[in-house]
């Protein structure tokens, strides 16, 4: 590893100290470092600061400091380039950021020694039919909802052009296995091992008890036709961070993206014969 890029949530109180620890480690180990521009008010080395989406072109490994929200933003910045991402948790609740800041230097040393594995995670691609907007990508989920208005919307689900069912609900969550422990789980969806590939469709507050989550094959091509009432459009949101309006009558195509997001994980020791703590 010759270079690292650092993406962080500058609002976290621990960010400044943690970024400085990474810089100190990098200088000691002769590893080049680059910073996301959001860190310029906190850290010197402004000559090392670049927009987030430029960091993957300069750095081999991306370090994400914060919680799951920062990790999702880091994944969006990396996109198709495939740089492995290391998530460092700064006292946040998160499923994606497993490494604590207390273990930072030891973790970086293990990466330097290549004592890690890369876990590929499926990504969703979403496209609004007959619109010129670029595709949206999501590591966790794509949500179609009523946009904060207290009303139901109608959504018709198709799988490879075959009609599946209609929903009258507050919205619809289409998630990856990585996202199965996020909004989908809170809405009654199943938990799926993130190393599997599948597409989970979960209605949000459906108007009928017959509406249940459905799991589709990874290569299925889903279409959701939206029918909303009133003057406001429905809203399409990717990973809770990028949103676009969906006019009534429009359809959204959802399918597995061609690229994956690569997360750095560490081999776990197997404690053969060891009893659980407390027994």
Tokens of 30: 């002769």
* Whether residue 68 lies in the annotated active site: yes
* Residue 49: closest CA among 17, 71, 23, 13: 23
Go through the chain and tell me how many residues it has.
279
Neighbours of 197 (CB within 10 A): 16
Instruction: Name the active-site residue from 68, 145, 170, 233.
Output: 68
d(CA 263, CA 220): 24
Q: Could you give the count of Cα atoms lying within 13 Å of 66 in the half-sphere of its Cβ?
A: 20
Residue written as token pair 């959802």: 254
d(CA 214, CA 208): 15
CA dihedral sign, ordered 188, 206, 159, 78:
negative
CA angle 183, 54, 139 (to 5 degrees): 20
3-state secondary structure of 129: coil
Active-site residue numbers? Answer: 68
């Amino acid at each position: 590893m010759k270079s690292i890029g650092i993406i962080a949530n500058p609002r976290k109180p621990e960010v400044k100290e943690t970024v400085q620890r990474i810089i100190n480690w990098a200088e000691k180990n002769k590893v080049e470092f680059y910073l996301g521009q959001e860190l310029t008010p906190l850290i010197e080395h402004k000559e090392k600061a670049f927009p987030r989406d430029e960091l993957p072109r300069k750095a081999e490994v991306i370090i994400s400091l914060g919680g799951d929200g920062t990790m999702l933003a880091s994944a969006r910045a990396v996109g198709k380039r495939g740089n492995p991402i290391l998530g460092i948790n700064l006292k946040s609740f998160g499923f994606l950021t497993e490494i604590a800041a207390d273990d930072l230097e030891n973790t970086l040393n293990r990466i330097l020694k290549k004592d890690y594995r890369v876990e590929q995670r499926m990504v969703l691609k979403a496209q609004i039919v007959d619109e010129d907007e670029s595709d949206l990508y999501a590591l966790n989920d794509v949500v179609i909802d009523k946009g904060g208005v207290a009303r139901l919307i109608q959504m018709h689900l198709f799988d490879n052009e075959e009609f599946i069912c209609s929903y009258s609900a507050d919205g619809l969550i289409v998630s990856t296995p990585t996202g199965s422990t996020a909004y989908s789980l809170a809405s009654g969806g199943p938990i799926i091992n993130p190393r599997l590939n599948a597409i989970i469709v979960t209605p949000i507050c459906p108007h009928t008890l017959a509406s249940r989550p459905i799991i589709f094959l990874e290569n299925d091509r889903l279409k959701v036709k939206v029918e909303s009432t009133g003057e406001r459009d429905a809203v399409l949101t990717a990973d809770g961070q990028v949103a676009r309006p969906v006019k009534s009558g429009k359809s959204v195509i959802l399918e597995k993206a061609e690229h994956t997001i690569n997360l750095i994980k560490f081999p776990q020791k197997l404690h053969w014969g060891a009893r659980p703590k407390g027994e």
